[in-house]
Structure 1
Amino acid sequence: MRVLVTGASGFVGRAVVAHLLASGHQPRVLTHTAPGPEGVDAVHGDLLDRAAVARAVSGVDAVVHLAGLGRVRESFEQPLRYYDVNVGGTLNVLAARPERLVFASTGTVYAPSADPLTEDHPRAPANPYSATKAAAEDAVAWAARAGLVGAVTLRLFNAAGGGDRDTTRVITRAVEVAAGRVESLVVFGDGSAVRDFVHVRDVAAAVVLALGRSAVGRHDVVNVGATAASVRDVVDSVERVTGRPVRLAHAPAHVGEVPVLRADTSLARELLGWQPEHSALDDLVRDQWLSRA
């Protein structure tokens, strides 16, 4: 398929473009500032420019919509900007009328639960970022119901590995501390908060599989996660894999922080035939350690 990828210069986007190429697809990228990957068709334009998005979508068979803003704390300070980009940008993609769409959402849309989260678990976004993703999900769902698009929404949990450069993410930061590039890892509370991690290459595989699932008038929502681990587990893994200490700094837990966020991925395995291959915790850490920039 000819596939437009928005957000192709980002962490997940780079992995998706690589996996599309390896799978025999023909990616095109919509890019605002960064140049497109070498050898890949690039359309320069802003996600908020509806005409530019329409030009980028013209002639492709599908769109993988990854572009957006994704920092929870920043979203509290800039909620209108987050709605503008994450919701408005998605509306522009939908208005361009792609036949197939894979939309990247987030596992943080869910209401808290100690149990693994299934796709029918209630949503209760606790921050503007998550709220914008939930609103964009709704727009995708209604467009599919109207017969305007065939879509799969992937609720991504914490992508990691693959040379991630974002030191706000716990695995990346812990590895950078072990490497001596960052002074310390700040642990909020007692480090017992559990999150679900998945290798970025496994995320990319899920995206490509989802392209084959989408059909006009249909909208599926699928979790993409793999390995539940606490901050303490991550630190232990980094020290075990690297043989180096991870210096910690402690701070009070964030008010309202969800203690557990784990994905039930049964549907991804059944519906998409997806199986994570790189997402064991030590494998994630080792890959990040070996591939760090």
Structure 2
Amino acid sequence: MKIAVTGGSGRIGRFVLRELLEHGHEPVNVDLAAPAERICRTAIADLTDLGEVYGALQGADAVLHLAGVNAPGKLSPEKLFRLNSLSTYHVLEAAAGLGISRVAAASSESIYGWCFARHRFAPQHAPVDESHPLLPQESYGLSKIAGEQAMAMFHRRTGMQAVALRFGHVPLPEEYEWLSRYEGAERFLWSHVDSRDAAAACRLAVEADGLGFEAVNVTADDTCSLVPNEQLAARFYPSLLEFARSGPPHAAWSSNAKAKRLLGWQPTRSWR
């Protein structure tokens, strides 16, 4: 397939472009600038301009939407929300207008709320699956809700297959050395996924058939901490001690079972 990848010049994008090439697809990077290393053709486009998005997606069979601001604090809250939500809407609107029936987009486990919460709180249950309430306290998480709702709407309107990938923290391979010492990892429940495994999930999300709209957690099977879960729970989330004691000492606090079941995805790399 010819697959347009928005944000292909970014942190995860280069891994996605390579993953697609290695599996026989024709990726086209859609970004404001080409990456330092040329992997494939780049179509320069501003995703806040619907006309430019139409031009960039022309001829694509599928879209992987990775572009956007990836954390709060990089822009003012209102600018972040506008950029992320409008860009996602434009990608979906253009894809629908061009008859593209397969779209997957980068969402985030930050959508659940605790990662960037001003008022700290614990998950209602663990492992956290996709049924957990979405409780963000800032515009980044809210923009991800808006994006997922837009995906669901376009599926209802056009039948488009739309898969939201709720990534955990995505370290690069060269960052593994300090991953277990990451200060504040309790804010994202020690959830992580290797960048190459994240890229595989992206590919599988557009290769899959008959999914409709779905949101899936994309996270490793283990935590990014050397400290056993029982000790982590006792210190940070005492309400979840029962979960922490019930399984392997480093089992992930987020469930990836749905991604495995629907996409046939498996995390294959570990920092340990």
Which band: TM-score by shorter chain? 0.7 to 0.9
In structure 2, the residue matched to 1:198 is 193
Pairwise CA distance, 1:129: 0.7
Aligned: 1:120 with 2:131: yes
**CA separation in 1, counterparts of 2:159 and 2:55?**
18
In structure 1, the residue matched to 2:2 is 2
1:266 counterpart (243, 248, 257): 257
Q: Is the 8 A contact 1:53 1:96 kept in 2?
A: yes
Aligned: 1:110 with 2:117: no
* Secondary structure, aligned partner of 1:229: coil
In structure 2, the residue matched to 1:83 is 81
In structure 2, the residue matched to 1:275 is 266
The residue correspondences of 1:96-245 to structure 2 (distance < 5 A) are 96-97=94-95, 98-110=100-112, 112-147=123-158, 149-163=160-174, 174=178, 187-188=183-184, 194-215=189-210, 218-229=212-223, 233=227
Question: Any idea what the Cα deviations from partners look like across 1:65-89, whole Å, max 9, x if unmatched?
Answer: 00000123x06x6111111211000
**CA separation in 2, counterparts of 1:186 and 1:224?**
20
Pairwise CA distance, 1:31: 1.8
List runs of 5+ in structure 2 lacking aligned partners: 114-122, 229-240, 245-251
Aligned letter for 2:110?
Answer: T
Aligned: 1:20 with 2:20: yes
Distance change (3 Å), C-alpha of 1:192 and 1:91: closer
Aligned letter for 1:100?
Answer: R
**CA separation in 2, counterparts of 1:113 and 1:160?**
26
* Secondary structure, aligned partner of 2:197: helix
Pairwise CA distance, 1:163: 3.4
Pairwise CA distance, 1:117: 1.2
List runs of 5+ in structure 1 lacking aligned partners: 165-170, 179-184, 235-258, 283-293
Q: Is the 8 A contact 2:109 2:166 kept in 1?
A: yes
**CA separation in 2, counterparts of 1:103 and 1:272?**
14
RMSD: 3.0
Aligned letter for 2:102?
Answer: R
**CA separation in 2, counterparts of 1:85 and 1:15?**
23
**CA separation in 1, counterparts of 2:196 and 2:146?**
27
Aligned letter for 1:203?
Answer: A
**CA separation in 1, counterparts of 2:202 and 2:260?**
13
**CA separation in 2, counterparts of 1:278 and 1:137?**
28
Question: Any idea what the Cα deviations from partners look like across 1:135-162, whole Å, max 9, x if unmatched?
Answer: 1110111111112521111111111233
Aligned letter for 1:28?
Answer: V
Structure 1's consecutive aligned runs of 4 or more residues displaced over 6 angstroms after TM superposition are none
Aligned letter for 2:109?
Answer: G
Distance change (3 Å), C-alpha of 1:214 and 1:69: farther
* Secondary structure, aligned partner of 1:142: helix
Q: Is the 8 A contact 1:4 1:30 kept in 2?
A: yes
**CA separation in 2, counterparts of 1:39 and 1:33?**
13
The residue correspondences of 1:251-262 to structure 2 (distance < 5 A) are 262=253
Normalising by the residue count of structure 2, what TM-score does the alignment of the two structures yield?
A: 0.78
**CA separation in 2, counterparts of 1:36 and 1:60?**
24
